[in-house]
Amino acid sequence: MTSPPATKEHASMSTPALWRHSPAIWAAPVAEGDPEPDWAFLRCEVHIDRPVAEATLHLAASSPEPGRQFVARASMNGAELGQGPVRAIADEHRYSSWDATPLLVEGANAIGVVAWTPEDRRVQVALRIRYRDGSEEVAAPSAPWTGLAGDRAYRPSGSIGTHYFVAPQEHLVGRDYPWGFDQPGFDDSAWSAATTKEPFTTLAPDPTAAVRTCEAAPVDIAAVGPGTLRFDFGGTYVGGLSLPGLGRPAQLTLRFGELLDEHGRVRAHMATGNHYEDRWDLDGHEPQIRTWGLRVFRYLEIDGLPPEAAESVRALGHVHPLGERTRFRTNDARLRKVLDLCEHTMVQTNGPLLVDSWSREREPYEADAYLQAKANAALSAEQELAGYSLDYLLQRRTWPTEWPFYLVLLAAEHAERGGDLGALAARRDQLAALLPTDWIDPATGLIRKLHGSDGSASVADHDIVDWPPSERDGYLFGPVNTAVNAVAHGAFSAMARIDEQLGHPDAPVHAEHARRLRETMNALLWDEEAGTFIDGLDADGAPLPHAAAHAGAFASALGVADAARTARIAEHLAPLGMPVSVYAAPFLLRALLLGGRADVAFDLLVGAGDRSWLGMIEAGAGATMEAWNEQVKPNVSCAHPWGASPLFLVVEDLLGLRPLAPGYTEFAVAPQVPEQIGHLGASVPTIAGLIEIDVSGEAAGRAVRVSVPEGTRCRLRWDGEEHLLGPGPHAFDRNR
């Protein structure tokens, strides 16, 4: 079961005209003097008197901030349209839009809204219709909106949130729920007129495709106690439970969780601080029942469910539509498992913003968004999600010193993949303002800070290097920090590319900052004997006596080292295993690949043990984790989409696919597939079309096959030579 797709606002109707006759409303309190309810049911009916060509339902609602999620679910004639809106960037309010054309009928039509928020409670709905006769209107309700306070259907309960946000546990009382309120002819005579609120002054459409719901059957059902069933859905979902009506009274307790405890029970009191426990009191007259809000879970326990209903239990997920997805091909079963985990993670845990996770924080972070956007781009050609998250973070920066630098990298790569130079130009000045020019030491050109170089947490402009602190490989902090300088070098280089694409005169300025950084880092931070970069310089400018894996990995991955030193860094890193976190892992693996140690990188990518992606699967995680294991981070969450970096490591590094011109009109393919893999390939959707790459090892030697879309060209680097390829299929062999 899926929700209808979102739709773009009709071009002939401006935003003010769309909302002019649509009041902002909420449900009135049950009695005069009572507080305004957090839960609200709202409904109206609309009469249609002629054939409809196109109809769109728009919904604005406030405030999404307390729950860091949607405020309302909208439905029409008994069918859910979707939930919204997305969180706003600044002072504007966002509205969601759905195609209502298939649901409208001539005659009476009902619109229903279920909403929850404890702050600035407002909902505003507009139904825009274009008729087959060519006329167009924002349809007026047949009668004023009515509302019902929802605090009897959803009894007061606790929060499933953490200290970052609040969201309701759902104590659902079936006899008090207004089943069918979104159907025409529903008797709302006991409801009150909806309370009119202040209208929204600044409204803007959600720029991304609407999140859709999906359902998944369990892969395993087990009795774990008297009257208690446990359901394993095989992977993580963000949502809750969908259950057909039972036809008999029942009292159900629902416990959701990401992991099981040592007794095989669901850990509803999660390590993240969330407590996912709900109660449903059913009288047997309920139709299909669904949870309203968002839980992050792989496992579910239900107390009190009749055994015959077990097979009808479904996980209710919320999916940001990615469109056509990359099809990976490999004969390596370990890599297949890792890629399946990562793909499921991206499909099921993206949401309408590139957030750190939907369990603990529900908040975007710059570095996380950068990695998640790269994983999404390796899987689909969808661009809007990364674009909106980029704009969001340009207004809402987080604390680490180097995190804002990643937005410059994200913006450059996003434009190179999508080709939207207009959007890039609109962001250009904000991106340039993120560069650490105020921290440049005029004597050396290095980034040198007089404060914040101590590794402390959650303090603005303090260096992070890696997280949690135990994953820093003994990194020594100083006023000059090699990891910070490496990310800054990447940002200055990316800003130079941005300005070059836009024809901005500052391109040489940023390129010079990058050149000087690179030159001085190699002069002052390189340890010739160790064959890698040291952690930094102390307050007197003396070298710090330590070289953590991060120093070499970030410097190599972000272009500081030349080819010879990149190779030496790879040899330095090769025997270390995985001494860095899930966040830093792609930089370490890329450093190995750039330095010619694809064999070691691949072994780490598909390795087992408790510091690996296969280890996450072994631990029972249904999506990529934020840390390798609970010993590393006791409050670990098992649903962090930025941890799905194997997707882009396979596409960008092992297969070597990179855009050379905006929108992939020209692209590079430079495979680095180690001989441990007999076959590796992918069909990658891009904005320019489907790019297909296959590398295989056969008895006669190694072969590469590339299919180039129409209107593009490919620069293939293979067997030490470069080949310029036009549209169509191409194949090259080489002897072992």
Instruction: Give yes or no for residue 347 having a pLDDT over 50.
Output: yes
Give the whole-angstrom CA distance, residue 42 versus residue 323: 33
Whether 661 contacts 714, CB under 8 Å: no
Mean local confidence (pLDDT), 241-268 = 97
Same fold, 214-319 and 666-734: no
Residue 735's pLDDT band (cuts 50, 70, 90): low
List, for residues 171-180, the tens digit of each pLDDT value. Answer: 999 999 999 9
> Is residue 9 very low, low, confident or very high in pLDDT (cuts 50, 70, 90)?
very low
The DSSP-derived string for 123-171 is EEEEEEEEETTS-EEEPPPSS--EEEE-TTTEE---BS-BTTB--B--E
Question: What per-residue confidence (pLDDT) applies to 316?
Answer: 98
Write down the domain spans for the chain.
Answer: 15-150+177-208, 214-319, 666-734
Q: State yes or no: pLDDT of 14 exceeds 60.
A: no
Look at the chain and count its residues.
736
The phi and psi torsions of 513 (rounded to 5 degrees) equal -60, -45
Burial 144-159 (b: 16+ CB within 10 A, else e): ebbbbbbbebbbeeee
CATH class, range 666-734: mainly beta
- Mean pLDDT value across residues 643-671: 98
pLDDT at 7 over 70: no
What pairing do the DSSP bridges indicate for beta strands 277-282 and 171-173? parallel
Which residue from 344, 341, 254 is spatially nearest to 303, judged by alpha carbons? 254
Helix (H) or strand (E) holding 677: none
Tell me the pLDDT tens digit for each residue of 517-574: 999 999 999 999 999 999 999 999 999 999 999 999 999 999 999 999 999 999 999 9
* DSSP strand pairing (93-99 vs 277-282): unpaired
**Averaged pLDDT score across all residues of the chain:** 95
Q: What value does the mean pLDDT take over residues 676-701?
A: 91
**pLDDT-derived band at 239, boundaries 50, 70, 90:** very high
Q: Quick check: 21 pLDDT over 90?
A: no
- If DSSP states are collapsed to H, E and C, what string results for 314-342? EEEEEECCCCCCCEEEECCHHHHHHHHHH
pLDDT at 180: 98
Mean pLDDT, residues 32-38: 93
Instruction: For residue 12, name the pLDDT band (cuts at 50, 70, 90).
Output: very low
Q: What is each CA distance from 179 to 99, 153, 173, 187, 313, in whole angstroms? A: 23, 10, 11, 11, 20
pLDDT > 80? residue 261: yes
* pLDDT for the residue numbered 700: 59
What span, in angstroms and rounded, lies between the C-alpha atoms of 625 and 359? 12
Mean pLDDT along residues 338-362 = 96
What is the spatial distance between Cα 57 and Cα 164, in angstroms, rounded to a whole number? 32
State the Cα–Cα distance between residues 116 and 42, nearest whole angstrom.
11
**Domain 15-150+177-208, what fold?**
Jelly Rolls (2.60.120)
- CA angle centred on 210, ends 365 and 156, rounded to 5°: 75
Range 214-319 has CATH code 2.60.120.260: yes
In the predicted structure, residue 245 carries a pLDDT above the cut 50:
yes
Pairing of strands 701-708, 728-734: antiparallel
Query: Per-residue pLDDT for 693 more than 50?
Result: yes
> Considering Cα of 537, then 543, then 549, then 555, what sign does the dihedral take?
positive
Quick one: what percent of the chain has pLDDT higher than 90? Answer: 93
